[in-house]
Amino acid sequence: MTNGIKDHIKALVKSMTLEEKALLCSGKNFWQMEGIERLEIPSIMVTDGPHGLRKQAGEADHLGLNQSVKATCFPPAVTSASSWDEAALYEMGQAIGEECVQEEVAVILGPGTNIKRSPLCGRNFEYFSEDPYLAGEMAAAWINGVQSQEIGTSLKHFAANNQEKARLVSNSVVDERALREIYLAPFEKAVKQAQPWTVMCSYNRINNVYSCENEWLLTEVLRKEWGFEGLVMTDWGAMNDRVKALKAGLELEMPGPDPHNDKKIADAVRNGELDEAVLDRAAERLLTMIRKACEVRKKEYDAAAHHKLARRIAAESAVLLKNDGMLPLKKDGSYAVIGAFAEAPRYQGAGSSKINPHQVDCVLDSLRENGIAFEYAPGYELEHDTINQALLEEAAACAKGRDGVIVFAGLPDSYESEGFDRTHLNMPESHTALIEAVAAVNPHITVVLLCGSVVLMPWRERVESILLACLGGEAAGSACADVLTGAVNPSGRLAETFPLSLEDTPCYEHFAGEGKDVEYRESIFVGYRYYDWAEKPVAYPFGYGLSYTTFSYDTMDLIWDEEAEKGEARITVTNTGKTAGGEVVQLYISKKQSAVMRAVIELKGFKKV
């Protein structure tokens, strides 16, 4: 921003009344920021994301209950993080930015960058990873993609917001080392590498101080240490004490209007409780963003191209967990496709990120288009998780004698959503019973998992192949078919550990307890850091994923600049198989002798090639 623009904004603030400056600090309504007609300051719109645009045309809500305009439903973060591909996240952000431009939305609320402390968090489908390095890289790429279209983002939910239970009042009791190394680290990386227009503070308290009024967090760390230049806003309804929040470094309260809090701000300036310079600074930051948003000119996006991109990212993000030879499918084979998710796929999470898609691809249609001959049986009811014996028997009969069976299973909306946490890691009883019933009559089974979080797989030794498709967005069906048929070689890698049991998870005894205090007793030992340190076996480790081909790694060279304290690791990767494919090269570091307790290894670099 030029000095001339800065001077203009300062002059504009100087010409405003105290009430007008206070008015800017809360929203005009559910989705719009306040403008001031007298000074020709327009109102701009913000709206939900982060894996697509959720712009509500009618009655507004924050839980995805009411209809929104049609938009491309890209794969949620749980899926896209498994791509380990910053370029793909940048492209997704770019496309979402284009949709914001068409719909005249100035800021999209995302990405969700909170760490997956426990697989029980009901909103994990909206977050990237258990690892702060991977989460930060994915978030930064997405933000840079969106903001390349001159559309703002809102990095959320800042910070230590790792559960849905009592999220408005919970208190995250966490040591500073864990805060710095695990929970703040992905936000730091995203701020330094992408400078989001806004940061959204979370509902919870951190060590007894609400995020929205935490001066150490919002000013000392975010602005002074990390160099954040944008504005800080609340999550919807996250305000506690308006004057304290303004002093702490929070500019915008959403939603609005809130004349009661606007008056509190003005009164605090008049009675000397609040320095007017603090309010002026907030007004300048708000006007700076409004000015940036008003420079964008409306243009239309290509929905077909965006659907194609969503399909590519979903296929690239699928993780092949097991393959004893059944995949890819053979065109001359005789197959059974079983599971109601094959006909009506679960492709996104529930809550404020729920997109109204242009179209939803069906797996059955896509398999037919790929020349795969099959019979279909639903196997279970979508609306109920209890076993339907008649559907189970029909599915077993359909599977009997086939060359192979593809079972679609996972988690329905009722098992994971914004607003509540899971209580276990099991799939619905009907899904597990279906896999067991089919395995009893045919050993050649591929299970395709459609879910937004970790699930237990007591049946995994009884099936030949497992494909984790997560939540694939609106092109989930065609993307699944692309991978199953070999049109796309799976190259996704796990962005979170799949444990053998809930009891094995690091915060099992201290997640979402009965009281308001949530004790982070595991400290830095989150995800693979814990499993490695405790030498605890897992079902599938962080970073794991198979391919239809094989790769070899040559000896690694390390090039270190002692003076700059920077280095490179160089390695040659060779595809030694007969199928083209992508590999994710992952670099971990460790310190063999340390005066303090450390993780055994930590991810510090990766590259998809």
Measured in degrees and rounded to the nearest 5, phi and psi for residue 23 equal -60, -40
In this predicted model, what pLDDT tens digit does every residue of 332-355 receive, in sequence order? 999 999 999 999 999 999 998 999
Percent of the chain with pLDDT over 70: 99
State residue 512's pLDDT score.
85
3: pLDDT confidence band, cut at 50, 70 and 90? Answer: confident
Residue 112 DSSP label: B
Which residues are catalytic, by number? 235
Topology alike, domains 17-160+167-294 and 306-496: no
pLDDT digits (tens, 9 = 90+) for 117-149: 999 999 999 999 999 999 999 999 999 999 999
> How confident is the model at residue 4, as a pLDDT?
82
Q: What is the pLDDT of residue 67?
A: 80
Q: What is the pLDDT of residue 295?
A: 85
* pLDDT value at 58 more than 70: no
What would the mean pLDDT of 57-85 be, rounded to a whole number?
86
Mean pLDDT within 515-520: 93
pLDDT value at residue 555: 85
Residues in contact with 595: Cβ distance below 8 Å, sequence separation at least 6, in sequence order: none
Distance CA(586)–CA(84), nearest Å, equals: 10
| Domain boundaries of the chain, sorted by first residue | 17-160+167-294, 306-496, 517-608
Q: Scanning the structure block, which residue is given the tokens 């009907």?
A: 430
> For the segment 273-305, what is each residue's pLDDT rounded down to a tens digit?
999 999 999 999 999 999 999 888 889 999 999
Query: What tokens appear for 87 in the block?
Result: 């370029």
pLDDT, tens only, 69-80: 999 999 999 999
Q: What letter would DSSP give residue 3?
A: H
- On the question of pLDDT at 62 being above 70, the answer is no
Examine the pLDDT at 16 and tell me if it is beyond 80. yes
Q: What is the pLDDT of residue 504?
A: 98
Question: Quick one: pLDDT at residue 252?
Answer: 98
Q: Residues 403-434, buried b or exposed e (16+ Cβ, 10 A)?
A: bbbbbbbbbbeebbbbebbbeebbbbebbbbb
Least confident range from 239-248, 291-300, 420-429, 594-603: namely: 291-300
What single-letter amino acid sits at 21? K
Give the pLDDT score at 64.
64
Does residue 158 contact residue 112 with C-beta atoms inside 8 Å?
Answer: no
Confidence of residue 66 (pLDDT cuts 50, 70, 90): confident
Residue-averaged pLDDT of the chain:
96
Q: At CA 368, angle to CA 367 and CA 369, rounded to 5?
A: 90
Which top CATH class is 17-160+167-294? alpha beta
Rounded mean pLDDT, 563-579: 95
Residues in Cβ contact with 323 at an 8 Å cutoff, skipping those fewer than 6 apart: 464, 465, 466, 546, 548
Instruction: For residues 347-364, give the mean pLDDT.
Output: 94
Res 513 pLDDT > 80: no
Confidence of residue 63 (pLDDT cuts 50, 70, 90): low
Tokens of 62: 């924050």
Inform me whether the pLDDT recorded for 515 exceeds 90.
no
| Cβ partners under 8 Å of residue 64, min gap 6 | 48, 54, 350, 351, 352, 353, 354, 418
**Distance separating alpha carbons of residues 604 and 590, to the nearest angstrom:** 10
Q: Check whether the bond before 443 is cis (ω within 30° of 0).
A: no
Provide the pLDDT for residue 1: 66
306-496 CATH fold: Rossmann fold (3.40.50)
pLDDT number for residue 514: 80
